[in-house]
Amino acid sequence: MYELVVSDYFSAAHDLRGYKGKCESLHGHNWKVEVTVASEKLDSLGMVVDFTDMKKALAEALERYDHCYLNETEDFKELNPTTENLARRIFERLSGGLPKHVKMRSVAVWESESCFAKYTGP
């Protein structure tokens, strides 16, 4: 099995609905997002998928969140904008645009240098 990993960053604010503690107040993060895709075979060029294509897809997925208040975005008007839910939403957005032989493996989202959540899908 081959794996390909790309990462990118974005900045956004959020607050956690129903949470008791510091995170219930409006605050921001410089988020790091790491996407892992996998394939049992390589394409005709010897790649899982072109790094350039994966980086572009990730940048487009993150553009909707960059410099936003996540709670007001369409994805999080009702869903709590936790790091876990953010990882799942990004996973779902990227899953549909992959070549048939490539599968989403995981999306990891860091809200700080020492804390991250990972979604691996069903």
Give the active site residue among 3, 23, 24, 101. 23
Contact 107, 33 (CB under 8 A): yes
Sheet harboring 103-112: ordered strands across? Answer: 68-69, 2-14, 27-39, 103-112, 115-119
Give the active site residue among 24, 60, 63, 67. 67
Phi-psi region of 69 (alpha: psi -120 to 50; beta: other; left: phi over 0): beta
**Token pair belonging to 10:** 């974005």
Task: Clarify whether 111 is annotated catalytic.
Answer: yes
Task: Clarify whether 101 is annotated catalytic.
Answer: no
Task: Clarify whether 74 is annotated catalytic.
Answer: no
**Token pair belonging to 20:** 């008791």
Q: In the block, which residue shows the tokens 């899953």?
A: 95
Residues 6+ apart with CB under 8 A from 68: 12, 13
**Token pair belonging to 54:** 């994966």
Residues with catalytic annotation? 23, 67, 111
